[in-house]
Amino acid sequence: MTGGGRLTPLSEAQLAAWDARIQPAPEQIAPDVWALPVPIPAGTIPHTLCYALIGGDGVHLIDPGWDAAESRAALESGLEAIGRTTADVRSVIATHFHPDHLGAAQALREEVGAQVVFSDVEDSVLQQETAPAASDLASYREQLRTWGVPKARWDELLGSFDRAAHTSTGTPDVAVVDGSVLVLGGHRLQVIATPGHTDGHICLVDDERRLVYTGDHVLPRIYPGIGIGALPGSDPLADYFDSLDRLSPYDEYAVLPGHEYAFHGLGARCAQLVKHHLRRTTELVGLLGENPDRTIWEYARRLTWTAGWEGMTGFWLHSALRQTALHLDYATSPRSRDRLAAHRAEPARH
């Protein structure tokens, strides 16, 4: 893994707006590429960065953002600011199925006939997530029991369990796979499968403009949750590390993420992400050494959490338990051996 470079914002305006929780103005990234903010209604994070690729045939959108009136109005005014309208949209590409990314795709297909593009794996993940059985609370109750969650915390976790809020609907008109090439009105994008955040997540590489669209796979400061849409039997954390490695050829490219701000220093950021997760896996390996028979709950409350364990409630508590379960799977998987050894051998910094 490279990572000697520094992480520098490409857009100070996007960075300042994110920190102030306001929408930045549409920003020109390349002569025919714009970043348009699309607010997330009542979200814990303020907005998605939708990218508008201007082609000879119209506009192609990467991650159109949430499907809500407020979000749509922002997308429309963003397009207007660059002299376009939604009627010009020819295709919509989603990095993954989460509603702050794929969200408005279906509506744009219905309204203006835009072609919807996402990965074939994500199509399977989405079908699994929207299947009627998936909304059944019984299986989640069973999970809380096997995780060893004290009964007193069940109501809070069951109350925050709302798959519908985390899911969009629809199937792709074009299902892409790793290595697919999309030619969109003069923009040639190579699809890189980057499972981890979700099993079917993709990044898109534009070699001509030296840009990489990273969705939620790599964000400049946020540590994306892992396995938020995983097929049975997958190992999202091991996949995530491999997916970070897959971006190493593009260290010099500008990074256009789904949130926060555009930046340079992809290798440096990937190295930080790996280190962050391996630190937690290593901590868990230590706890396993003390006692290999604890429940997920017992491991989770002994781990170090940025926001502290005591304040962990509702969805965040669920997320912490889920991340602990993933790290436990990873710690005991043969896929972790080499990476953990390399991590231990590295001199500790910061």
- Which residues of this protein are in contact with Zn ion, per CB under 5 A? 100, 216, 258
Residues near 28 by beta carbon (within 8 Å), at least 6 away in sequence: 34
For Zn ion, give the closer residue by CB, 26 or 99.
99
Structure-token pair, residue 116: 């919807």
Q: How far is the CB of 150 from Zn ion (least distance, A)?
A: 31
Degrees (nearest 5) of the Cα angle 170, 55, 12?
A: 85
CB-nearer residue toward Zn ion: 176 or 219:
219
* Strand 47-55 relative to strand 211-215, pairing: unpaired
Cβ 110 to Zn ion shortest distance, Å: 23
What's the one-letter identity of residue 115?
A: Q
Q: Which is nearer to Zn ion, 88 or 216 (CB)?
A: 216
95 vs 336, which CB is nearer to Zn ion?
95
Contacts within 8 Å (CB) and 24+ apart, 144-149: 146/295, 146/296, 147/295, 147/296, 147/297, 147/321, 147/325, 148/294, 148/295, 148/296, 148/297, 148/298, 149/296, 149/297, 149/321
CB of 157 to Zn ion, least distance (A): 22
Give me the least distance between CB of 100 and Zn ion, in Å please: 4
Nearer to Zn ion, 18 or 147 (CB): 18
Closest contact distance (angstroms) between CB of 206 and Zn ion is 20
Q: Are 180 and 122 in contact (CB under 8 A)?
A: no
Q: How far is the CB of 97 from Zn ion (least distance, A)?
A: 10
Q: What is the residue whose two structure tokens read 């491991």?
A: 299
Give CA–CA dist 251/270, Å, rounded. 9
Shortest separation between residue 192's beta carbon and Zn ion, angstroms: 18
- The residue (of 72 and 90) whose beta carbon lies closer to Zn ion is 72
Cβ proximity to Zn ion, 46 vs 258, nearer residue: 258
Beta strands in 160-278 (DSSP E): 174-176, 181-184, 187-193, 202-206, 211-215, 254-257, 263-264
Helix (H, G, I), strand (E, B) or coil at 199: coil
| Nearest distance in Å: CB 283, Zn ion | 26
Q: Cβ(157)–Cβ(314) under 8 Å?
A: yes
When the beta carbons of 163 and 294 are compared against Zn ion, the nearer one is 163
Residue type, 259: H
